[in-house]
Each structure stands twice: as structure tokens, then as C-alpha cells.
Amino acid sequence: MKTTQISEHIWSLRTWMIIPITVWVVVEEDGVTLVDTGMSTMAKGILKFINRLNAGPLKQIVLTHGHPDHVGALKSILHHHPVTVFAHNKEIPYLLGECSYREGKKPVATLIHGGVKTFAHDNDGELHAIGSLKPYFTPGHSPGHVIFYHEQDKVMLAGDLFSSKHGKLRKPLFTPNMKEVLNSSLVVGKLRPKQLEVCHGHSVFNPADQLSDYISEESKKLRTAVVSADGSDKPSSL
Ligand SMILES: [Zn+2]
Ligand SMILES: [Zn+2]
């Protein structure tokens, strides 16, 4: 597992299983927050790293979403450190094994009832920060996907809202609702992070500068796909 300090308070921990798989450790005043947990094989390495970092105990785990490559090490980490896990409420039925991400696939329970909390929110739906990380609801890749923004470091931990290649934003892998993903990606223009990190790819610096090119390119592909799927030449709006 490769560990890299990506900003003053954030470390990325990465392994490779055909594609890179990344989790993040965020240093808080009273301990550390783990963002996603990666594959089950990463559990030992993550705990060892937190120990070695010597920045205090693991305080909580926050999840961008519940796909298996983001929650694989969760059970094992909780076995050693029974901390609170936070996820968006739309993601919780999947984490509890009440429904499955893919039609026809058997649901898998990663957590038990009471083992996961939802993010608190205002009346207008704005999610409250957990430590120094503010979640933003960014559905499309999964129903309750969120990104986390570290205001002080100006870093966005974008989970699977994007992938990236050679410093460029790319669409996420296996995404049921690309139209919704493109709509969610507008959060990058709103927050204008200095640095954006994805689970399956490398850092993207000043991502807001390339956002409109990314959206127009992917919208074009989406329209072409819709046109060829329904046989009409009528472009669908984004
Ligand atoms: Zn995913
Ligand atoms: Zn993923």
C-alpha cells in the first residue's frame, strides 16, 4: 500500500487491484477520520498507518458510498475500533443489505442496524460537517453518493463522482445514471477546490478549470448514446 501526504491534513492510502483503490486519512484536532475503507485486504495496512501516524485515535469513518471497493475493510476495522460510521441516508439500505445496487444481484449486508448514522442536515438539505469534512450530496454513480470537501486544505475527496487520467477529469466507472453524475459534478464549479482526489485515479489540480469541457464532452457522448439507443435523431437535453 502506498501512502502519500496530499495536503497539510490529508493522507492518501492506495493499493492496486487492476485499478488503483484509494482511501484517505484526515487529521483532526482530536484524532483522525477515515474516508472510505477500500478492499478487505487494506484493513491491516490502514490500521498500521493510523498507528504510525501518531495523530490520535480513529474517531469515525465516513463513506462516499457503499460499493464493495469502498466498504471492503469496514467490518474488519470496526472489529478493532468500533467507531461511528456515517453515510448518506439514501445509501443506508444498501449498506444494511436491504437492497442491491445491481438488479438481480443478491444484496450484501456490510453493517448492522444501529451501526451507521446519516449525516445531519439543515431544513434546506445542506449536510453538516463531520470534523473538518463537509459532505455534499452528489448522486448518480450510486443513489446516496457524497463527496467531502476539506475547506482549510481546499481539497475535494470526490470518491467515484469522477475517475481521472493524466490530471484530467474522466467519468466514473460503472455508472447507472450518467446524466445525474454530470449534474452532481457542478459542485466542483461551486467550491472550486485547489485539488480533487478520486478513488480510482490520480490527483486533478484546479479541476474547475476543465469542468465545462468535461461536461460538454460527456453530454455529447450521452446524447449520441441516447440517439443510437432509441433510433431517433432527436437530441435529449442534459
Ligand atoms: Zn463506486
Ligand atoms: Zn469505486
What is the rounded average pLDDT for all residues in the chain? 93
Select from 24, 2, 1 the least CA-distant residue to 11.
Answer: 24
- Residue 171 pLDDT more than 60? yes
More confident residue, 114 or 236: 114
pLDDT bracket for residue 111 (50, 70, 90): confident
Rounded (5°) CA angle 66-71-156: 70
Which ligand is closest to the CA of 101, given by its number? Answer: 1
Separation of 181 CA from ligand 2 center, angstroms?
14
- Residue 31 pLDDT more than 60? yes
In DSSP notation, 30-87 reads TEEEEE----GGGHHHHHHHHHHHTS--EEEEE-S---HHHHTTHHHHHHH---EEEE
Separation of 83 CA from ligand 2 center, angstroms?
22
pLDDT bracket for residue 108 (50, 70, 90): confident
Which ligand is closest to the CA of 38, given by its number? Answer: 2
- Would you state the pLDDT for residue 131? 96
Separation of 78 CA from ligand 2 center, angstroms?
20
User: What residues are paired with 19 via a beta bridge?
Assistant: 17
In the chain, the domains with their CATH numbers are: 2-209 (3.60.15.10)
Separation of 161 CA from ligand 2 center, angstroms?
9
Separation of 235 CA from ligand 2 center, angstroms?
30
Kindly state the average pLDDT of the residues 55-81. 96
In DSSP notation, 139-178 reads -SSSTT-EEEEETTTTEEE-TTS-EEETTEEEPPSS-S-H
Separation of 199 CA from ligand 2 center, angstroms?
6
- Would you state the pLDDT for residue 237? 38
Render pLDDT for 126-166 as a digit per residue (tens, 0 to 9).
999 999 999 999 999 999 999 999 999 999 999 999 999 99
- Residue 22 pLDDT more than 90? yes
pLDDT bracket for residue 226 (50, 70, 90): low
CB atoms within 10 A of CB 204: 25
- Would you state the pLDDT for residue 236? 39
Spell out a b/e string for 188-200, using b for 16 or more CB atoms within 10 Å of the CB, else e.
Answer: beebebebbbbbb
Select from 116, 70, 69 the least CA-distant residue to 90.
Answer: 116
Compute CA 105 distance to the chain's CA centroid, rounded to the nearest angstrom. Answer: 22
**How far is the CA of 224 from the CAs of 48, 227, 232, in angstroms?**
48, 5, 10
**Residues, Cβ < 5 Å to ion ligand 2:** 69, 160, 199
Separation of 173 CA from ligand 2 center, angstroms?
7
Separation of 13 CA from ligand 2 center, angstroms?
14
Kindly state the percentage of the chain with pLDDT values over 90: 84
- Would you state the pLDDT for residue 104? 84
Separation of 70 CA from ligand 2 center, angstroms?
6
Which ligand is closest to the CA of 22, given by its number? Answer: 2
- Residue 232 pLDDT more than 70? no
- Would you state the pLDDT for residue 227? 63
Separation of 170 CA from ligand 2 center, angstroms?
13
pLDDT bracket for residue 234 (50, 70, 90): very low
Select from 96, 101, 57, 99 the least CA-distant residue to 74.
Answer: 96
* Whether 131 contacts 121, CB under 8 Å: no
Cell (9 digits) for 173: 466507472
182 three-state secondary structure: helix
Separation of 145 CA from ligand 1 center, angstroms?
8
Which ligand is closest to the CA of 198, given by its number? Answer: 2
Spell out a b/e string for 208-223, using b for 16 or more CB atoms within 10 Å of the CB, else e.
Answer: eebbeebbeebbeebe
More confident residue, 73 or 226: 73
Separation of 22 CA from ligand 2 center, angstroms?
9
